[in-house]
């Protein structure tokens, strides 16, 4: 349960009448009026109820053959996530997610890596993955494929950045679990194929929402708006009484 920071009413977050995001944290309200009071002078309400920081999972290519332009897009995405106060989640892998994590760290943001390994030693020497640029590494021991489920379920918002077959698997998990998904257009890999992939699903409705934009700042703004106006009520298809048909 959450508490409305204005009137202190206890709320089920999924049934809140309104939500606001302030400095990367989400606050839940019993009414639009309480939300308006909060946004007018948030500093007087911040110690009344805690807000949870939104987590943004960035899924993308772990290869090192990306162009300098696409690497710059990854840097800009990391900077945007950090400046908005969100928490970055990646698979603690090299490649584009690592470049994103580097800029989160350089921008004094919080970065969490979800490792496929059992330990730091295995992370470094078996999976040849970086350990810097992460404030926390969670060792799942689940392997590369098993780690993907933890990545997605730990993220309020999932962003697809380039990527190949592994990223396609992460997109499929996010879509099937009804996540809010951002696609950074122009970042290569599978991003240009996602509209056709979704079209091939036919009328399958998992509750997933997909947002597209080539600019990291605009994409993040669109996703934050979508989450706080609607998607907070549908955080996962598994939160509903009945699951969508496979």
Nearest to 27 by CA among 2, 10, 44, 47: 2
Please compute the mean of the pLDDT values over residues 116-133 and round it to a whole number: 96
pLDDT band at 238 (very low <50, low <70, confident <90, very high): low
What 3-state class would DSSP assign to 202? coil
Q: What total number of domains does the chain contain? A: 2
Domain match, 132 and 37 both: no
pLDDT score of 243 more than 50: no
What are phi and psi for residue 240, nearest 5 degrees?
Answer: -95, 160
Spatial distance between the Cα atoms of 241 and 226, rounded to a whole number of angstroms: 23
Name the average pLDDT for the chain: 93
The reply to whether 202 falls in a domain is yes
Domain match, 39 and 80 both: no
Nearest to 127 by CA among 136, 111, 114: 114
Q: Give Rg (Cα) of the chain.
A: 18
Please compute the mean of the pLDDT values over residues 47-59 and round it to a whole number: 94
pLDDT of residue 97: 95
pTM for this model (two decimals): 0.91
- Structural domain harbouring 227: 54-237
Please compute the mean of the pLDDT values over residues 12-16 and round it to a whole number: 90
Phi-psi region of 202 (alpha: psi -120 to 50; beta: other; left: phi over 0): left
CB 238 within 8 A of CB 206: no
Domain match, 202 and 218 both: yes
User: Within 10 A of 7 (CB to CB), how many other CB atoms are there?
Assistant: 16
pLDDT score of 237 more than 70: no
Domain match, 162 and 229 both: yes
CB 211 within 8 A of CB 180: yes
Element (H, E) at 206: none
The reply to whether 138 falls in a domain is yes
């Amino acid at each position: 349960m959450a508490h409305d920071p204005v009137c202190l009413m206890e709320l089920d977050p999924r049934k809140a009448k309104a939500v606001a995001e302030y400095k990367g944290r989400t606050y839940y309200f019993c009414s639009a009026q309480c939300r308006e009071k909060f946004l007018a002078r948030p500093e007087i309400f911040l110690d009344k109820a805690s807000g949870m920081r939104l987590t943004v999972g960035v899924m993308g290519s772990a290869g090192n053959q990306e162009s300098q332009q696409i690497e710059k897009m990854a840097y800009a995405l990391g900077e945007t996530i950090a400046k908005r106060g969100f928490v970055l989640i990646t698979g603690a892998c090299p490649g584009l997610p690592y470049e994103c994590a580097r800029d989160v760290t350089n921008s004094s943001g919080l970065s969490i890596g979800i490792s496929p390994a059992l330990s730091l030693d295995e992370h470094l020497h078996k999976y040849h993955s970086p350990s810097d640029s992460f404030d926390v590494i969670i060792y799942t021991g689940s392997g590369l494929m098993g780690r993907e489920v933890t990545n997605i379920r730990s993220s309020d918002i999932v962003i697809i950045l380039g990527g190949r077959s592994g990223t396609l698997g992460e997109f499929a998990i996010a879509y099937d679990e009804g996540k809010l998904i951002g696609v950074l257009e122009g970042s290569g890999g599978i991003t240009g194929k996602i509209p056709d992939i979704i079209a091939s699903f036919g009328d399958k409705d998992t509750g997933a929402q997909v947002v597209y934009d080539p600019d990291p700042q605009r994409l993040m703004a669109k996703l934050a708006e979508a989450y706080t106006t609607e998607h907070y009520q549908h955080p996962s298809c598994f939160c509903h009484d009945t699951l969508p048909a496979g």
